[in-house]
Structure 1
Amino acid sequence: MTNLKLIDKLDGDFIFIRAIDSNSNSVFVVDTGECKVHKINIDQTTKSVGRKGGGPGEFNKLANIGVNDDFVAVLDMFGQVTCYDGQLNFINTFKIGYSSIFLAVDSKNNIYIPRFDRYDEILINKFNSNGILLNTLIVKKEEDEPMIWSPFNLKVDQEGFIITASMFNNLIKIYDESGKQVISFHEPKLPELSIDKFTVKPTQFYFRDVFLIEGMNHEKLIGVLLGDILESNKNREIFIYSYTGKRVWHGLLPEESRWVTSIGQKVLLATDEEKTACFKYEFMDGIK
């Protein structure tokens, strides 16, 4: 039985949701096939920007998007970042000099993009909106991590805390704005690690996505979507934690949904396996 109630469904040709503007309840959707970014407003009106290419406002294989109030940053897989205001009016473009698929934006419009070309560490580079490198956070490889370039995700909250999630060993780390590690925790408790250099066993679970959400008392919370590495349509569970690593909520995600992004205190959005439909759910019992 699911702990999430379907309250709305928006069908379309969009690929996947990667960002939410919580102030206006707008959804930003990345369409990798058409090299476009779509903004869907609460009244269902849509604005789209982008096309395939390497010039200003053009993309080569869209990778990710970050949104903060009146600022949007879009990353393509060739290392080009394109910045817009909240209405998707073009501001500027810059190149970071390497390829990445993850991006986060903080409250000061700084842009965080990890670099994966080292074996034993990940470099999270922090750029300002003009593309100037401000500083670099080094995330060291853990002993039980099979490879440093395994799936990885990061978020940055409004206070500048950086949350990283290493997906194969399900490890969450939180850093403050200066880059000092605040906490590191493994949750949920998983079956014995079954990934090595040569085999991947079907019992292994890993983080499919990570998102930030606000609790009922405005507490900052971290949500993760956990899934079976081989049977991608099964065993999708959502775990939500406080910044101290305490689990505060656990529920199942309907099999029709795959990727999740939070919106507001009690609602999350998800896309299906084919990434063509958007589902909107609410927490039936809330998050205490």
Structure 2
Amino acid sequence: MSTPLAGCDFSSAPTPRKPIVLAHGTRLGERVQLTGLEALPTLDAFAQWLRRPAAWVGGFDFPFGLPRELVEHLGWPREWRACMDHYASLTRPQIRDTFAAFCAARPAGAKFAHRAFDRRAGSSPSMKWVNPPVAWMLHAAVPLLIDAGVHLPGLHAGDAGRVALEAYPGLLARELIGRRSYKSDDRARHTPERLIARKDLLAALELGRTRLGLRLKLTHAQRDALVDDASGDRLDAVLCLVQAAWAERHGAPAYGLPADLDPLEGWIVSA
């Protein structure tokens, strides 16, 4: 029996119009079957899904940790759970002011602290509070993972049946179509070029043109739905699903994460 898989495109302030999107699927050998898409319009709905008594391995598009350099500079706890509890206790204005002061004291071109893998993965620093506001995503989501009791390999022991991994769709997308833009939340930027990029990205996933060694299996209706979503949210959830499948194929206990993973910072799966 194959383990259920999930990929999550997250929003720290979801709405019915801009929900958190889950892509559900399974892996059989090198084939990843998309079985469905689910929209969660509130953080409470996401928390309820996390707590469901069902087994899964999931890839989630939000940071699971802060840069060690930042944490040590601020004198925050250096153990992951204690650090996340402290971070969750702060308000967003407190976080913004603290991070802005940190950046202001640093030279141009090196304002933000980075986690060890950020440059390798092309991911934004997890302390960024704008464009994209990943610091708010971490603040909103990680406490929900902890409260739900899920297992975070390398960071926090929990229910081994519900395995949560940090994913990043941009890492896989860039491998397949380079730096071509394939999405925008701005309707005025829903261009034919981005539509073609989504089609090319899906075609590459279906043909297995990735170092992950996996092929995505879609129905015609699923393919049309992914192409037609100009925001890219559904497609990003599917990219996270494929990364989760790669991790699930590697299996417990590490799920493909490196042996030298920093237990404070975490790691993006497949980075």
Normalised by the length of structure 1, the TM-score is 0.26
* Structure in which a larger fraction of residues adopt strand: 1
Normalised by the length of structure 2, the TM-score is 0.27
Larger RCO: Structure 1 or Structure 2 (Cα < 8 Å, ≥ 6 residues apart)? 2
* Structure in which a larger fraction of residues adopt helix: 2
